[in-house]
Amino acid sequence: MTDIDSSFPPEMSFDNYKLLSNLILVSFISLSFRSPKSFLHLATLITLTICFMIQPILYRGRYPANEQASVAGLGIILGFKMCFWLKKFASSHSIDDFQPFFYTLFYWRKNVTSGKKEDFQPTNKQILQNIVERSIYLFIRWIIFESCFKVMDMYSDINEIPSSPYFFRILDMFRTGASPITMKSLLLCSFYMVLVYLLVSKNYDTFLLISGIILLFLNVIFPTVNDKEKSFLKGKIFSVKRWCISFLFDTRYIFDSPWLSTSPRDLWSFRWHTLYNDIWKELAYVPLKHYLTEDNSLSENRKNLAQIGGIMGAFFLSAILHEYLTWTEMNELTLEQFYFFLFHGIIFVIWELICISNGCYHQHSQTSISVLN
């Protein structure tokens, strides 16, 4: 029995480990080209989702953090995306606007367009200019990223894991007056935030650059294709061109100067990493809010409580994502990330309650955070 336990999960090279993850993903994609109308079909998709998300947990600590990050990142992000897709079939096996899971991988955000006309057709010069600008941004961000990384490596001695999670250090500050963070830790966190911003921006810029090159190539080879094409191939080429145009010219950037934020709402809802907003909304905010407001005769206070519950649910899911990444990549379950995001969810709610009571948001009719609209 001991021999069996010690060999689970079985040893495998990183290439085979990554191949297994890709096979699970491809299997899910292949089985999701039609809606799951049978229990077996739905159960298989759910099982694949669980396996895809749990694999990095089982193999944590087996591979270098930088290699594990590529699998763990996809494991949690696409895993949530799978759950988002499966949620549509929770109450019905057929939906009117069915889309295969594969198609949803190319659309992550709604209502983020910059306002250009749907028939906007960029010239080759405009596309080339976009590619050059994106290449310059990518190079500058890469230089700054590498410089910050070198600085952190030089002062790696400050990279110490605190003895207690973030939330408890805050409580200790109010109870004993002890500072929850040292100057060294503050410096480390500042560099870390810059690195996260640059890393995500750099990866996003890479996708923009690749999309620009693809669009330029298709525009040169197929300059006249349109939505009236009867040829299957040309019709698909037109769809790819429209997607690239929308991505490059009509989709807002995932960051909007987060350092200019004027409130927690402004930071988390409008300026900081908006790519996963629909995930937080559909998997946490909406289910919790609907559950707490099933009774239509609820008082205004109960409705506000449901709103708060939905907001905290969104931050809870974000906390799980970040703690998952730290745990699977570093093999350290400190709950630092988990408590950090929950604490900021509490700050968000308190700020909203104060602003609402003072009439700060009387001019807005939307819900308290745009991510949840």
For residue 371, the 8-state DSSP code is: G
For residue 11, the 8-state DSSP code is: P
DSSP secondary structure string, 304-350? HHHHHHHHHHHHHHHHHHHHHHHHHHH-----HHHHHHHHHHHHHHH
Q: Do 212 and 334 reside in the same domain of the chain?
A: no
Angle at 76 between CA 71 and CA 77, to 5 degrees: 100
Q: What is the pLDDT of residues 70-128, one digit of tens each?
A: 899 999 999 999 999 998 887 666 666 788 899 888 877 765 555 555 667 888 999 99
Separation CA 206–CA 26 (nearest Å): 23
For residue 113, the 8-state DSSP code is: B
Q: Do 300 and 350 reside in the same domain of the chain?
A: yes
Q: Do 269 and 328 reside in the same domain of the chain?
A: yes
Residue 284: how many CA atoms within 13 Å on its side-chain side? 24
Per-residue pLDDT of the chain (373 residues; tens, 9 = 90+): 444 455 778 899 999 999 999 999 999 999 999 988 889 999 999 999 999 999 999 999 899 888 898 899 999 999 999 999 998 887 666 666 788 899 888 877 765 555 555 667 888 999 999 999 999 999 999 999 888 878 776 765 555 556 677 777 777 778 887 776 777 777 777 777 888 889 889 989 999 999 999 999 999 988 877 767 667 788 888 888 888 888 888 888 888 888 888 888 888 888 888 888 888 988 999 888 888 877 665 566 677 788 888 999 999 999 999 999 989 988 888 888 888 899 889 999 998 888 877 766 544 434 444 444 3
Q: What is the pLDDT of residues 245-254, one digit of tens each?
A: 888 888 888 8
CB 316 within 8 A of CB 64: no
Separation CA 240–CA 250 (nearest Å): 15
Boundary residue ending a domain (251, 272, 287): 251
Boundary residue ending a domain (207, 230, 251): 251
Q: Do 117 and 138 reside in the same domain of the chain?
A: yes
| Crossing angle (nearest 10°) for helices 183-221 and 232-249 | 140
Q: Do 77 and 165 reside in the same domain of the chain?
A: no
Q: Do 129 and 73 reside in the same domain of the chain?
A: no
Tell me, yes or no, whether 267 lies in a domain: yes
Q: Do 277 and 159 reside in the same domain of the chain?
A: no
CB 311 within 8 A of CB 285: yes
Separation CA 352–CA 84 (nearest Å): 27
Q: Report the pLDDT value the prediction gives residue 334, as an integer from 0 to 100.
A: 80
CB 371 within 8 A of CB 314: yes
Residue 278 tokens, joined: 């629909």
Q: Do 24 and 65 reside in the same domain of the chain?
A: yes
Tell me, yes or no, whether 246 lies in a domain: yes
Q: Do 41 and 166 reside in the same domain of the chain?
A: no
Tell me, yes or no, whether 29 lies in a domain: yes
Domain range for 88 is: 2-101
Residue 164 tokens, joined: 């207690």
Q: Report the pLDDT value the prediction gives residue 331, as an integer from 0 to 100.
A: 87
Q: Report the pLDDT value the prediction gives residue 1, as an integer from 0 to 100.
A: 44
Cα 107 to the center of its chain, rounded Å: 12
DSSP secondary structure string, 242-306? HHHHHHHHSB--S---GGG--SHHIIIIIIS-GGGHHHHIIIIIHHHHHHHT-STT--HHHHHHH
Q: Report the pLDDT value the prediction gives residue 366, as an integer from 0 to 100.
A: 41
Q: Do 291 and 361 reside in the same domain of the chain?
A: yes
Separation CA 151–CA 305 (nearest Å): 45
Tell me, yes or no, whether 363 lies in a domain: yes
Q: Do 245 and 269 reside in the same domain of the chain?
A: no
Number of domains in the chain: 3
Residue type at position 125: K
Q: Which long-range contacts (CB under 8 A, 24 or more apart) does 350-358 make?
A: 351/263, 351/264, 351/265, 352/264, 352/265, 352/311, 355/263
Tell me, yes or no, whether 107 lies in a domain: no
Boundary residue ending a domain (205, 227, 251): 251
Tell me, yes or no, whether 354 lies in a domain: yes
Bridge partners (DSSP) listed for residue 251: 113
Q: Report the pLDDT value the prediction gives residue 369, as an integer from 0 to 100.
A: 41
3-state secondary structure of 137: helix
CB atoms within 10 A of CB 226: 12
Q: Give the residue carrying structure tokens 């939505």.
A: 227
Q: Which residues contact 51 (CB under 8 A, 6 or more apart)?
A: 24
Cα 235 to the center of its chain, rounded Å: 31
Separation CA 224–CA 219 (nearest Å): 8
Bridge partners (DSSP) listed for residue 113: 251
Q: Give the residue carrying structure tokens 């950037």.
A: 253
Q: Do 143 and 179 reside in the same domain of the chain?
A: yes
